[in-house]
Structure 1
C-alpha cells in the first residue's frame, strides 16, 4: 500500500510537470499569435499605402524592402521580427498566394514607373491583393483562436490534474493520519494494559469508568473490587508460574463475561476491579458468583487441585448518593472487600451504612494522624513477658495506644492498619522506639533496675534504606547498653526477602540489638527458614492457643516448634496465653517465656514500673 501511494504521487507529479511545461510553452506561443496577426495586417495596410504613393508618383523602395522582409519571415519563420510559421493549411495557402500576388504587384510598380498608363493594372492587382491579405489575416486569427482554445483546454486539464493531485495528496495524508491515529491508539492501548493479563491498568480503568458514568448518570452502576483470599499461598507453595496462569485465566473469564458499557481492570497483584451495569443489585453478586465458580473450577482441575476463594466488595452508586467520583467508589468497594477478608462477611459484601461508618471513622483517623503525632497523643504501654523457669517478669513488649485529649482510647487494630496504608507507620514506629529508649535511660540514670524491652518494626520501616542507621543512632543518643532492646519482625517479611532480612538482622546484632520473629505460624511459616536467620527469639502466634477442634494437633505442633528452636539456641515466647492450663503445658515442653492476660495485660508506664517493683517483694508468678 505504501509503495502504491508513493508510485501514484510520483506519476501525478511527473504528469503535472509535463502539463506545466506544455502550458508555459503554449502561453509563450500565444504571445506570438498577436504579433503574427499584426504583421499580416501590416502587409495588407502597407501594401495599399505603397500602391497609393506609387500612383501619386512618390516611389517608396524602403517600403518595398520592408514588405519583402515581412513576407519572407512570414513564409519561413526566419527574420528579425520574431514571427512564427504556423502549421495551418488554410493560412499557408493564403500566404503563398499572397506572396505570388506580391511579386505581381512589384512588377506592376516597375511598369507604372516607366509608363503611367499601366496604373490601371496596378490598381486592379492591389484590390485583389487586399482581398487576399484580408483572407490571410482571417486565417491567422482563426489559427490563433484555435491555439488559444487548445491552451485553455490544456489549462483546464492541468487544473483538473492539479485538483486530482491535491485530492490524492489529501486522501493519502488523511489515510496516513488515520493510520498514525490507529497506531497511536494501539500504542496507547498497549501502554494502558497490564503486561501479564492484558487487562486495563488502574489509571485507564478510572478514565474509562469516569466517561461511562458521566455519559449516563441515570444508569445503575456498581464498582466491584475483588482479590483472592490468600494468593500469596498459591505463589509460595506452587510457584509464580501457576499463580500467573490463574490471573490470566481469571482475566479471560471476566472479559468474556463483560456486558455493554462495562469496564474491567487490574489494580495490582491479584486485585481486580469491574464497573457493572445492573437492574437489580443481586444481579451483580450473581454474575460475580458465576465468574468465581469458573475460576475455582479451573483451579480444582489443575494438577495441584488447590483452590482459594475470591473476596469481593461491591459499591453501588445508589448507595453512595451524590458521589460519582470513581476514586471514592473504588475506596468504598475496597473497604467492603476488606470486611470479607477480615471474616465479617462470607466472600461477598455490599457497601452499606455500617461500612460507611467505618469508612468515615477511618477518614477521621487519617485527618488526625499527623496532628496526633505532633501532639504526642500516642502512649506506650508495656506487656510483661514471664519466664517459665523463674516465674518472674523477664522482659516486656512495648505496645502503643492512641489516647485522645478527651480521654478516649483508640485501639491499635483501629489505627495501625490506617497508618500503614497512609505510610505514617514509620514515624509511629520511631516514636514508640524513642519513647522506650527515653524510659530506659531515665531508669538507668535513677539507678533503678531495667529489663529488656521489645518493639515492633513495621514492613515499611524495615525496608527504609536508613532503618539500621536511624535505630542505632537513637540507641546511641540515649546511651542504651547492648542487650536491652529487641526488635520484632513479622514472619511475612522473611518470606518477602529472606536474604535481605538475614543481612539486616546481622547489622542490628552488631549494633547491640536482639532480634525476634513475631506471629510465627500465623501464615505459612517454614521452620527451615530459621536456620538462615540469626535471630534470638521466636514468638509463637496466639492462633495455636485458641480453642479449636484440633487442640491436640496444635499442642503437637507447638511442642515440635519449641523443641527444634531450642536446638538452634533460639528462645521461644508463647503469645496470647490466657489460662494456667496453657502455662503448665508450655512449661512442660520447656518454652522459655509466656505473654498474655493470664499474667499481665498491657499497662501504662507507671503501672509497669510498679509491677517491676512488686516482683522483688512477692513469690514467683509460676511455681518453679
Structure 2
C-alpha cells in the first residue's frame, strides 16, 4: 500500500480488517503533540511492517480518521485543542469507530487516568516511557484480537439473523430453571415480551403443565447431555396449541429449548386422517377404518376365544330413489339411515339382547347404499337374529326428506367369528353372500351365513357368466301360452314367456335367471330381444291370417327406468312393421307403485302410441285404488294364487269376485291366470270373468306348437 496515495491508505469502509495471521501493511494512526515521540513511534512501527499516519492533537486525529479509517489508533492523553479522552469518545461515536482498537498513552500511571481512558472507550492503556521493542508486538496482538472479535460479531450477527428468521420460540434456560434469553416465535400462545420472560423461572409465564414438563426435560438434558425431543399440547381457553420441542445442552450450565408451533400441521394431519378413515357424507367410519378395527379385534379374540359378528346391510331400491328424486334426496336418505342404525344399535345395547358393558360396536358405511355393523364380545355369542330384527324395525316407518315421504327397506346378511370365518376377508365375504341371499329371497329380509350359500353363490356366479353369453349363443327362446275368451272359448291372445336352453343344464325357467338378469342389468338387452322376437312372431301369425289379436310381453321395472325406454319400443315396433295395437305390456303392481307418478306419465306415452297395458299378478302387490283409476291401463290379470284355491277357499273366491266387479266398474278387462280345472273355469264364467290363461287351455309352448292350436281354431 503506497503512503503517497492518500486514497489507498488504511481501509475503506467496505473493507474488512487485515487477516489475523498477517498484520503487515496495517495502517496505524499515531496521535501525539510531541513530534519527537511521533517520529520514534513511526520508525519503530514501520520497521515491523506497519504503515503509519500522524496527527498532532485530538481534533486532527478525528479529521484524519474520517479520511483514512486506520486499522488501529495510538493516542496520547494530554494534548492541546482536544485531549485523547475527548477524541476517543468522539471517534467511538463515528461510523466504523465503534470497534476500532484504540491504545491510550500517558505518562501518568494513576488509576483515575486508567478508568477515564476505559470510560472514553479505549481498548487498552499504555504507560510511558514506551518499550519500543514490545510496541510492535502489542499493536499486532491488538489487531489480531480486534479481527477475532470482528469475526465473532459477524458470526453472532449471522446466527441472530438465522434465529430471527425461524418461526420457532427459543428459550435459553440456566440449570436452575431461570430464563437467560428468549426469542418469540411467530404467533401461537408463546409470544411474549422479553422483559416478561428473561430472569424468570419457566412457571412464571408458561402454563403450569407445560412448565412442569419442560422443567423436567431441562433437568434430564442437563444430566444426560443428550438432545431431547418432545411434543407439547397447550390448552388455553377454547384453543389448543401443539408444540414440537427440541432441547439441546450448551456448555455446562445452559439448555436451549426450541419450540415450534405445529398446531396447523397437526390439525391438517388430523383432518387428513379423518378423511382417510371417515365417510364424508354420513361422518361414519369408512371401510378402511372398518378393516383396521375388525382386524385388531380379531387378533385378540383369537386368544380369548371371543365372538364377533359382521352385519352387511344394503338398501333396497336405493338407486331408483336416487335416480328419480335426485342425489340431494339420496344423500339425505343415507344420512337418515345412518341415524336409524345408530338408534337400532342403542336399542339393542339397552335391551335384554344387549351384550353388556363388555360389548363393542362399530357402525360404518362401506360406500353407496351399503353399511356394515360389527358386534364384539369377549365371552358371549352375538344374538344376530335379535339385532337384525331391531335394525329392520327402524325401517318400518317412512321418513320425510325435503318434502318427500320415502319408504326404504334393507336386506341384511351376517357372518360370525369363529364359525363363519376366522379372518376379516372371510367374514366380510360371507356376510355379503348372506346379504345377497336375503335380497334374492325378497326385500327387507335377513339371512345369517351358512356354508351352503357358497355353493349357491358359486352356482349363481356360473349361471351369470353363462347368461352373458346366452344371447350371442342363441340359447334364449320364447314359449307362448294361449289367452282364451271365456265366453267363446277361442284363443284371442298369447303371452310370450322366455326360456333358456342351457347347453349343459337343459331348459332353465325364468324364475332362476330373470333375477340375475335384473341384478346385472342384462334384463335391458334381454327385454329388447324378447320384444323383438314376440313382435316378429305376432306379425307372422297376423300375416298368415290367424284369428289372434294380442301378444302380451312382460316388462321389468328396470326396463322402465331407462331414459330412452319409449324410443327403444318405437324403434323395435317400427323395424318389425307391426301395428302397436297388437302388443300388450304386462306390469306388476310393484313395478307400477315404485314410482307411481312417473309410471302414470310413462304409461300415458305408451298408451298414446296405441299399445295395450295390463296389470299382472293383481292382488299380490300394494297398489292404491286411488292410483289404480289414474293408471291408463286396459286390463287386470288376477294372480294364480287366488284362482288355484277358488273352489276350496271362500276368502280367495271373495277376493277374485271383488276384483272382477271392481275392474268392470272401471271399464277394465279381467284375465284370470292359472286356470287348471273345469270347475275353476265354470266359477269364473259365472262371475263374468272376460279371459283366462292356464294349463286348462294350454301350457307355454314353442311357436310351431302354438301355431297348431291356431290352425285347429281356424278349421
| Same fold? TM cut 0.5 | yes
Q: Does 1:289 align with 2:386?
A: yes
Q: Distance in 2 between matches of 1:423 and 1:614?
A: 41
Question: Residues 546 and 714 of structure 2 are in contact (CA less than 8 Å); yes or no, is this contact kept in structure 1?
Answer: no
Higher relative contact order (CA 8 A, sep 6+): 1
- On the 8 A contact 1:402/1:409 being kept in 2, the answer is yes
1:444 to 542, 551, 554: 542
Aligned 1:317-356 pairs, distance under 5 A: 319=420, 324=425, 328-329=429-430, 331-338=432-439, 341=442, 348-356=446-454
**Structure 1 residues 567 and 51, CA gap change in structure 2 (3 angstroms):** closer
Q: Aligned runs of 1:46-65 on 2, under 5 Å?
A: 50=39
The aligned runs of 1:7-406 (5 Å cut-off) are: 38-40=27-29, 50=39, 67-68=54-55, 73-74=60-61, 78-83=65-70, 86-87=88-89, 94-95=104-105, 130-131=130-131, 138=138, 145=145, 149=149, 152=152, 155-156=155-156, 159=159, 162-163=162-163, 165-166=165-166, 168=168, 174-187=262-275, 192-195=279-282, 198-200=283-285, 204-205=286-287, 207-211=288-292, 222-226=309-313, 248-254=339-345, 262=362, 264-265=364-365, 272-275=371-374, 283-284=381-382, 286-287=383-384, 289-290=386-387, 292-293=389-390, 296=393, 312-316=412-416, 319=420, 324=425, 328-329=429-430, 331-338=432-439, 341=442, 348-406=446-504
Q: How far apart, CA to CA, are the structure 2 residues paired with 1:139 and 1:66?
A: 14
SS in structure 1 at match of 2:591: helix
1:463 to 2:550 alignment: no
Kindly indicate which of the two structures has a greater share of residues assigned to strand: 2
Q: Is the 8 A contact 2:18 2:26 kept in 1?
A: no
Cα shift at 1:226:
3.7
- TM-score scaled by length of structure 2: 0.61
Query: Are 2:692 and 1:594 equivalent residues in the alignment?
Result: yes
Determine the C-alpha separation between the residues in 2 that align with 1:368 and 1:482: 33
Closer, same or farther: CA 69–336 of 1 in aligned 2, 3 Å = farther
Aligned-pair distance for 1:570? 1.6
Q: Structure 1 unaligned runs (5+)?
A: 1-24, 55-64, 99-126, 233-238, 618-624
- Unaligned residue ranges in structure 2 (runs of 5+): 1-11, 44-51, 74-86, 93-97, 109-126, 169-185, 187-243, 245-258, 320-328, 350-354, 400-406
CA contact (8 A) 1:398 1:454 kept: yes
Q: 1:331 and 1:604, CA in 2 relative to 1: closer, same or farther beyond 3 A? A: farther
Q: Give the 3 Å change call, closer, same or farther, for CA 253–504 of structure 1 in structure 2.
A: closer
| Bigger helix fraction | 1
| Root mean square deviation of aligned Cα | 5.1
User: What's the offset of the Cα at 1:313?
Assistant: 2.1
How far off its partner does 1:404 sit?
Answer: 1.8
Are 2:693 and 1:606 aligned?
A: no
Count of matched residue positions in the alignment of Structure 1 and Structure 2 = 530
Distance 2:505 2:333 in 1: 52
Q: Kindly tell me: are residues 210 and 408 of structure 1, through their superposed partners in 2, closer, same or farther at Cα, counting changes over 3 Å?
A: same
Q: TM-score, normalised by structure 1?
A: 0.69
> 1:538, 1:573 within 8 Å by CA — same for their partners in 2?
yes
Contact 2:586 2:615 in 1 (8 A): yes
Residues 313 and 337, structure 1, Cα contact 8 Å, conserved in 2: yes
Over alpha carbons, which structure has the higher Rg? 1
| Aligned equivalent of 2:520 | 422
